[in-house]
Amino acid sequence: MNAVIRHDWTLDEIVALLNLPLNDVLFHAQTIHRANFDSNRIKISTLLSIKTGACAEDCAYCAQSTKNETTLKTERLLALETVLNAARAAREQGATRFCMGAAWRNPTDHNLEQVIEMIEGVHALGMETCVTLGMLTIAQARRLKDAGLDYYNHNLDTSPEFYGQIITTRTFQDRLDTLERLREVGLKTCSGGILGMGESRRDRASMLRQLTNLPAHPESVPINLLVQIEGTPLFGQASLDPFELVRVIAATRILMPLSDIRLSAGRSEMSDELQALCFLAGANSIFYGENLLTAPNAAAKRDRELFTRLGLTFETVAAERDEPGGCHRSEYIHD
């Protein structure tokens, strides 16, 4: 199986990938991964909620929706210095990309100007920048590009067929339209989905088909495992078979050979062995830190211990951008 970039995958082809014996799909994925990446290097990002709660969307998995009765405390947009202090701390922990998320359906132009100050400040620390702010107009996408934003996150969440069972306040096409605006202005995209919401294997294949058949593959593909939050409609959902997560990551690596695949939400509940299988399947990026927006994340100490056991390396930012090229150093985790 060659690592060929395709945008014409059929649903049946992707279902067939997911149906392969686990050893076979892992072999194909690892072969492709090694052809395009250092198989023992992990990229580290940190995600901060810069505006929490009071979101008008009705996403069935989310604690931040006003439609869901959770105990989440809402917060206004964080002050610039608070965000920059968090970015500095993330850099010290080894993160090279700092992602900022705001619980908006779509930002106002005033909101955008405040976030742009954060982007510029984080960029000056030598870190890559990513934001997720909801839907954008083409003018807003262009403004973010001009401000030097590196990545914009906008997940598809699930398949178009299953989407209406999870979200009704925006359409699947709304999400595709925002991704198209991002591509039009030249922003790199970060787009993936959530597993374990009650979808079928065919739904998971359909979501992957949507991503891989976009005009350009997302540069980063986060694969999330549902984090069940009391008060949301999906609380109490049956847990996904862990091997299904591994299969999806392996299929994602085969379908999008050059994209970074990020093992995202749900890692706090994953065993070390499951995470190791996900890395074997082609995941080469994680979110690092105690929280992902409002959901718990694996502890940084546990991550570092796991990296040591697996012999994984990662890059860290060596200095601020006053050094040429925003210098990075390679770090190996020692006991």
**Using CA of residue 210, residue 213, residue 215, residue 220, what is the dihedral sign?**
positive
Contact yes or no for 130/45 (Cβ under 8 A): yes
Would the pLDDT of 326 be above 60? no
Higher pLDDT, 71 or 87: 87
pLDDT over 70 (residue 238): yes
**What mean pLDDT, rounded, does the chain reach?**
86
The 10s digit of each residue's pLDDT in 268-292 is 889 999 999 999 999 999 887 655 4
Q: What is the pLDDT of residues 16-64, one digit of tens each?
A: 999 999 999 999 999 999 999 999 998 888 888 888 766 778 788 887 7
Residue 188 has pLDDT above 60, yes or no: yes
Is 226's pLDDT higher than 60? yes
Cα–Cα distance between 246 and 81 in angstroms, integer? 39
Residues annotated as catalytic (active site), given as ranges: 55, 59, 62, 99, 130, 190, 262
Residue 67 confidence (pLDDT): 65
**Is it the case that residue 319 has pLDDT exceeding 50?**
no
pLDDT score, position 317: 57
pLDDT of residue 332: 37
Q: What is the pLDDT of residues 8-21, one digit of tens each?
A: 999 999 999 999 99
pLDDT at 192 (0 to 100): 96
Taking residue 87's Cβ as centre, other Cβ atoms within 10 Å add up to: 24
CB 109 within 8 A of CB 80: no
What is 11-332's CATH number, 3.90.1300.10, 3.10.450.50, 1.10.357.10, 3.20.20.70?
A: 3.20.20.70
Where do the structural domains in the chain lie, given as residue ranges? Answer: 11-332
DSSP string covering 80-137: HHHHHHHHHHHHHTT-SEEEEEE--SS--HHHHHHHHHHHHHHHHTT-EEEEE-S---
What's the pTM value of the predicted model, to 2 decimals?
A: 0.86
